[in-house]
A and B are shown apart, each in its own frame.
Chain A
Amino acid sequence: AQSVTQLGSHVSVSEGALVLLRCNYSSSVPPYLFWYVQYPNQGLQLLLKYTTGATLVKGINGFEAEFKKSETSFHLTKPSAHMSDAAEYFCAAFRNNAGNMLTFGGGTRLMVKP
């Protein structure tokens, strides 16, 4: 069964510092990969996705992620954190032959200090 692991349930950075949120997937066949953000009491908003093609994917709000097949990773980065980035971030994977479902990681809560 496919699984998604997010290392670090809580990450704290200072405003203006680099944001790095880690995601690894376990699958012999690379799935489609996604990062979602969830603000308090809200649903999930797609930040970016990797399906095929270019391995460096740019998303909204200055976020980007790089798909590395050799490392089975899809880490999310942002060069400079903003206070408004404080939220819960979820990495997710999808494969068409896996019950048509998104498999989510456990989430990483990003805290941004002034």
Chain B
Amino acid sequence: ETGVTQSPTHLIKTRGQQVTLRCSSQSGHNTVSWYQQALGQGPQFIFQYYREEENGRGNFPPRFSGLQFPNYSSELNVNALELDDSALYLCASSDKTGGIFNEQFFGPGTRLTVL
């Protein structure tokens, strides 16, 4: 069973640029959630995708957007990067069956640095 994978592991961008982060969910999982973890803080929920539709969103501006593909992998896109976007971005996959929550499995994260 393959776990959650994320790419790239590290990324350096400059202010104003755009970035795309990728996540492959664990086999059999249909739900992907994205979290932002700033240095020294707990992860903050960005949004969740279930069967290719956004299924919940945290307090993040519209320049944070996402996609989920038919194979349940996902992308996180951030436009007009700001210095405060520097963080570890975590992807988590889970299996939502019949509305019942199942454990979220986290990937190793992508470390984004905005200069």
Contacts of A6 in B (CB 8 A): 42
B7 interface residue per 8 A CB criterion: no
Contact call B45/A43, Cβ cutoff below 8 A? no
Query: Are A102 and B45 within 8 A (Cβ)?
Result: yes
Of A61-69, A70-78, A103-111, the segment with at least 4 beta carbons within 8 Å of chain B is A103-111
Determine if B99 and A106 form an interchain contact, defined as CB atoms under 8 angstroms apart: no
List, sorted by A's number, 22 A–B pairs whose CB atoms are closer than 8 Å.
Answer: A4-B42, A41-B108, A43-B106, A43-B108, A90-B42, A99-B45, A99-B48, A99-B56, A99-B58, A100-B33, A100-B50, A100-B56, A100-B101, A101-B33, A101-B48, A101-B58, A104-B43, A104-B44, A105-B42, A106-B41, A106-B42, A107-B40
Binding site for A on B (CB under 8 A): 4, 33, 35, 40-45, 48, 50, 55-58, 90, 92, 99, 101, 103-109
